[in-house]
Structure 1
Amino acid sequence: MTGPKIYFTIPLFGGIPITQTTVSSFVVMVLLCIAGICLGRNLQKRPGRRQVLVEKGVTVLYDMVADTMGPHNLYWTPYVGALFLSSLFGTLIGMTGILRSATADLSTTLTWALMTSVLCWACGIRANGFFGWLKGFSEPIAVMLPMNIVSEIAQPISMAFRHFGNIAGGGVLTSLLYTALATLSAAVLGLVAQSVVAAVIVLVIGIALFAWGFKARKLMRKIFGVVFAVTGLLALAGLSGVPYLEVGIPGILSLYFDVFSGGVQALVFSLLTMVYIGNACLPPEPAGQ
């Protein structure tokens, strides 16, 4: 697995490279904007199914922000929602096989993490003033100053690397699995294709296993029957270069690494964002205190 490919370079400011990540991020942004326009128009007092689902999703998001950040921070909900959806679909877009996952690039997750950190600092400055914000780094004692500075620097780095590492790691494992299965396919077909008798025996075993599994309603027997039967057919046809074992197993792993892990990482990133900004934007003190 390599880094994002550079499609072309815009000759401005010393050259602005347009990479796979840039294209994927732009496509996700456009799709989310179109979805927002389509789902948010023609709202009715008596909502239909589409409007009910959209309103339910928005309500769940606002409730989550209120529970995590406090009711006074509800105005952050659009930012949190945009971050979650950009992260989720930025990962899922890699399943198209055409575009690369935007979150598999450290520059994407690091940019989001830095945005969150800058917002936290802005909230601290707005609440305490610039010098009051700086004074907070040395509290409760001046000895804590270096540790507080390191903590502020480590916050965006840890957020970015956690998200990027999980998505990129899944992509690396999937790529290695594809290579291993292609090699195994060539080795098995090359071995079986050496003898017509062996190919016929493998084909017959596959048909028998599939029939047995169909009768007993056993999924694994059906799967092994299909694998044996396809191996025998390809060996008889002399198609030893077909990586047929790549079908199925990578798809199952993709459900975990792309769908499940992508959803979890988007949720974790959004929750951390809410926690950090919520700690920086404390509720206003009651009047008279």
Structure 2
Amino acid sequence: MQSSPLTSTLLFHIGPVAITRPVLTTWIIIAVLVFFCRFVTRSMAILPDGRQAVLEGIVVGMTDQIESVIRKDARPFLPLVGTLFIFLTVANLSGVLPGVEAPTSKIETPAALALIVFFSVHYFGIRSRGLRSYLVSFAEPKLIMLPLNILSEITRTFSLMVRLFGNVMSGEFVIGLVVALAGLFVPIPLMVLEILVGLVQAYIFTVLATVFIGAAVGSAEKD
């Protein structure tokens, strides 16, 4: 048992890089998702069968959700937002498997995802508005707001990381504690709740990322 939820089990090194259990689990999840997506998207046809219809329904649902937030064409943002949601859903739910710790229950994975969102927000903002116009937006509505706007970029990224980490970590901690005290089958209702929490947290993280991108590209106000 880890002495702290902020620590991770070290497995091995690749040169000077330490590979921990959450990192290895993340690599496995990525490999499984790549293989699965490659498998289910092969032999696509103009007239879809049931499998393709389900996939198209998922894509359309994600597209509509993005457009409802950003109020722009969702196609430039769909690869990032869709990948975030799919990865987070699988990563959050991986903790219900015996012997598997959800990588999002360790601080490094939520931190990495929050940094991806942080840099993506500025990338889309600059691409949409241009560098000068985007930088000027940090001084709106008054120049005195510049330090606060910069600080808000940092604090909301930190909040995104802590929210995901705290909710997933606490759920795994409670289930582990109940198993240790009461036995194997007692925490089954808690595991069902943990599945719900994992899905909700994946949705919240993705929606917040979409909101941040929408604010950067000037979605509703500029249209």
TM-score greater than 0.5 by the shorter chain: yes
- Counterpart-to-counterpart distance in 2, 1:91 and 1:119: 22
Number of equivalences? 218
If the length of structure 1 is used for normalisation, what is the TM-score? 0.70
Counterpart of 2:189? 252
Counterpart of 1:143? 144
Where 2:8 maps in the other structure, the secondary structure is: coil
Q: Does 1:265 align with 2:201?
A: yes
If the length of structure 2 is used for normalisation, what is the TM-score? 0.89
Q: Tell me, which stretches of 5 or more residues in structure 1 are unaligned?
A: 182-245
Counterpart of 2:8? 4
Amino acid at match of 1:5: T
Over 3 Å counting, the alpha-carbon distance change for 1:66 and 1:25 in structure 2 is same
Is the CA contact 1:93–1:101 (under 8 Å) kept in the aligned structure 2? yes
Where 1:18 maps in the other structure, the secondary structure is: strand
Deviation at residue 70 of structure 1 after TM alignment = 2.2
- Counterpart-to-counterpart distance in 1, 2:98 and 2:76: 37
- Counterpart-to-counterpart distance in 2, 1:155 and 1:32: 28
Provide the aligned C-alpha RMSD in A. 2.0
Is the CA contact 1:93–1:100 (under 8 Å) kept in the aligned structure 2? yes
The percentage of counterpart residues that share the same residue type is 27
- Counterpart-to-counterpart distance in 1, 2:42 and 2:103: 29
Deviation at residue 144 of structure 1 after TM alignment = 1.6
Counterpart of 2:20? 19
- Counterpart-to-counterpart distance in 2, 1:34 and 1:88: 16
Amino acid at match of 2:157: P
Is the CA contact 2:70–2:219 (under 8 Å) kept in the aligned structure 1? no
Tell me: higher relative CO, structure 1 or 2? Use CA pairs within 8 A at least 6 residues apart.
2
- Counterpart-to-counterpart distance in 1, 2:65 and 2:76: 13
User: Which runs of structure 2 are paired with 1:1-289 in the superposition (5 Å)?
Assistant: 1-2=1-2, 3-11=7-15, 15-181=16-182, 246-257=183-194, 259-282=195-218
Is the CA contact 2:63–2:74 (under 8 Å) kept in the aligned structure 1? no
Q: Tell me, which stretches of 5 or more residues in structure 2 are unaligned?
A: none
